[in-house]
Chain A
Amino acid sequence: MHAAVVVFPGSNCDRDLAVAFEAAGAQVTKVWHKDTDLPEGVDIIGIPGGFSFGDYLRCGAIAANSPICRSVAAHAERGGYVIGICNGFQVLTETGLLPGALLRNAGLKYICKTVALKVETSASAFTEGYTAGDTISIPIAHHDGNYFADDETIARLQGEDRVAFTYEDTPNGAKADIAGILSSNRRVLGMMPHPERAADAGHGGTDGQALFRALTGALAAV
């Protein structure tokens, strides 16, 4: 299984994401934002957390218009897998690969802590290592993690079983407690919490491992 991790100026979770993929058995290539092509045979693209382009204008807005994002969109349109974490989630909403937008946290504060997430669906390559209804502990670290979409979009996400994770105690004001969502073909996941920061015993928790293991296992089986 071959994963590509995109690096923007300001990405700071790219190495952690690459290590989590490698620990789950993937071969990883890092890709610079100015590159226009992805490596041959990439199965999944990871858009890491951080502060791409300093969060100038809006989080993820400038990154979403970088050359590599045209290839990311083409990969997704072909049915390829993409995961965006934290700033990566913001980038995926800005590219239009996922609906909605991420607003400033309702409490106006940057929040960095481990939170309880409810797994809403196991019906995706990302979440099939969990059971729907499971509670897992995953760290968050964001200032703009307040998920917003209009009521119609929220209802569609819920009706199509596309809410991947919700917060048990919403820290940021996110609508419908949403922490992560799937694309309509269930092959693009965006989430604010950081599973790559809970993928090794040294992190103080390993609840994120199942996501990467399921992904590599599921993709190896494709």
Chain B
Amino acid sequence: MKARVHVMLKNGVLDPQGEAVRHALGAMGFEGINGVRQGKVIELDLAEGTTEADVSAMCEKLLANTVIESYSVEIS
């Protein structure tokens, strides 16, 4: 089984990388971009039987820093 974890900076936390991308897109002539947030995706290849709760524990303990980041888990 596979799990995909999306990690994003929480709303309210300045994302300077996202801001830099937003500026670059504006400079390239793309209009109407009100905001850009940049996160990361972590793909896990897991043994059968691993639960979503197990993946959430991995997120809480290592994959995300919940002081500044939120995460979501997709199991497939």
CB contacts (< 8 Å) of A80 on chain B: these are none
Cβ–Cβ contact B62 & A108, under 8 A: no
B68:A103 contact, CB within 8 angstroms: yes
Q: Is the Cβ of A61 less than 8 Å from the Cβ of B13?
A: no
A106 touching B68, Cβ below 8 Å: no
Within 8 Å by CB of B16, from A57, A61, A101, A173, lies A173
Tell me the complex Cα distance, A168–B15, Å.
Answer: 23
Given contacts A108-B20, A149-B67, contact A103 B61 (CB under 8 A): no
Please give, as numbers and ranges, the residues of chain A lying within 8 Å of B20 by CB-CB distance. 108
Determine if A106 and B62 form an interchain contact, defined as CB atoms under 8 angstroms apart. no
A187 CB-CB contact with B under 8 Å: no
On chain A, the residues within 8 Å of B16 by CB distance are 103-108, 146, 173
Most central of B13, B17, B62, B63 by chain A CB within 10 Å:
B62
Q: Chain B 44-67, CB within 8 Å of chain A: the 1/0 string?
A: 000000000000000001110101
B67–A65 touching, CB < 8 Å: no
- With a CB–CB cut-off of 8 A, which chain A residues contact B62? 57, 61-62, 65
Contact with B along A52-76 (1 / 0, CB 8 A): 0000011001100100000000000
Q: Quote the shortest CB–CB distance from B42 to chain A (angstroms).
A: 8
A93 x B17 contact (CB < 8 A): no
B75 CB–A CB distance under 8 Å: no
**Residues of chain B in range 13-41 having any CB-CB distance to chain A below 8 Å:** 13-14, 16-17, 20
The answer to whether B67 and A101 have CB atoms under 8 Å apart is yes
B63 cross-chain contacts in A, Cβ below 8 A: 57
Chain B contact residue count (CB 8 A cutoff): 12
Residue in chain B with minimal CB distance to A104: B16
Chain B neighbourhood of A105, CB < 8 A: 16
Q: Is A14 an interface position by the 8 A CB rule? A: no
In the complex, A93→B63 CA distance in Å?
15
> For residue B14, which residues in chain A have a CB less than 8 angstroms away from its CB?
103, 106, 146, 148, 173
By a CB distance below 8 angstroms, the chain B residues around A106 are 14, 16
Which of A57, A100, A107 makes the CB contact (< 8 A) with B67? A100
Quick check: is A94 within 8 A (CB to CB) of the other chain?
A: yes
Shortest Cβ distance from A59 into B: residue: B65
Within the complex, the shortest CB–CB distance from B62 to chain A, in Å, comes to 6
The 15 listed contacts between A and B (C-beta, < 8 Å) are A57-B62, A58-B65, A62-B62, A65-B62, A93-B67, A101-B65, A101-B68, A103-B9, A103-B13, A103-B16, A103-B68, A106-B16, A108-B16, A148-B14, A173-B16
A residues near B (Cβ < 8 Å) are: 57-58, 61-62, 65, 93-94, 99-101, 103-108, 146, 148-149, 173
Interface residues of B (CB under 8 A from A): 9, 13-14, 16-17, 20, 61-63, 65, 67-68
What are the 4 closest A-B residue pairs judged by CB atoms, nearest first?
Answer: A101-B67, A101-B68, A108-B16, A106-B16
